[in-house]
Amino acid sequence: MTLDIDNFQAFFFDFDGVLADSVEVKTRAFARLFESYGREIVDRVTRHHRQHGGMTRVDKFRHYYKEFLGRPLNDMELKRLCDAFSQFSVDEVIASEEVAGAENFLKKWSKMLPCFIVSATPDKEIRLIVEKRGLKEYFYEVLGSSKSKQDNIEYLLKKYALTPAKCIMFGDAESDFKAATACGVNFIGIVPDTDAPLLKAAPKIEWAKNFLEVEPAISRIINARCL
């Protein structure tokens, strides 16, 4: 399939679950951090994590302490949790399998237009992961959770003088979809099947299982624009 490059100015990508099959790595990290509170808490934590991809770990920890444990979370304990989470997950994320076709897609399209990562992972950590996976060359910028996804997309649109309607965000979570649409950017979900939380929240979006199957979804966006 041939797609006209003139239809687009830039692509934005979430990372976990979109470029790397790493969501369950982080599920295991959350489970490990809350295992001392018992199976019920671990189940609630992991279920929430799977249903709220794109939410930062800081916001998740605060939510779990307040809503599940009913106890305060001070800054020192929050830092300990974040440090332990990184220790448990970074190497596994670096070693995780790619989402099928992801690097070949990047290799092709990054030669034709700017590509960016907009992730809920801390900035320093996501940049390390991207570098260690050998993907750094494909991206103009790699942005993490020091700002919200919406703020980061808005910043990139302005910095590179991009037209939102000529950009696409690839994500796997409702938060990705909301950030993109709030900025007027097209969105394509990268999800394994119709049971994905993203499709339950936004059933009418364009989506694909992986980057081997994504170009028909891109074509549908082009066709819808031309109607």
Tell me 20's DSSP state: B
Give the pLDDT score at 227.
46
- CATH, domain 5-22+97-226, list 3.40.50.1000, 3.30.70.20, 1.10.3720.10, 3.40.50.800: 3.40.50.1000
Assign 75 a pLDDT band (cuts: 50, 70, 90): very high
Q: How far is CA 203 from CA 6, 153, 182, 193, 199, in A?
A: 28, 23, 17, 12, 4
Domain boundaries, the chain: 5-22+97-226, 23-95
Mean pLDDT of the residues in the chain: 94
Strands (E), the chain: 10-13, 115-118, 141-143, 167-171, 186-190, 206-208
Tens of pLDDT, residues 120-139: 999 999 999 999 999 999 99
Region of 70 on the Ramachandran plot (φ > 0 left; ψ -120 to 50 alpha; else beta): left
Tens of pLDDT, residues 143-188: 999 999 999 999 999 999 999 999 999 999 999 999 999 999 999 9
Tens of pLDDT, residues 11-62: 999 999 999 999 999 999 999 999 999 999 999 999 999 998 889 999 999 9
Distance CA(225)–CA(196), nearest Å, equals 26
Output 102 or 1, whichever has higher pLDDT. 102
Output 54 or 90, whichever has higher pLDDT. 90
Assign 4 a pLDDT band (cuts: 50, 70, 90): low
Give the pLDDT score at 71.
95
Amino acid, res. 198: L
Assign 2 a pLDDT band (cuts: 50, 70, 90): low
Give the pLDDT score at 53.
83
State the pTM of this model.
Answer: 0.92
Mapped onto helix, strand or coil, the DSSP state of residue 33 is helix
- DSSP assignment of 118-140, as one string? E-SS-HHHHHHHHHHTT-GGG-S
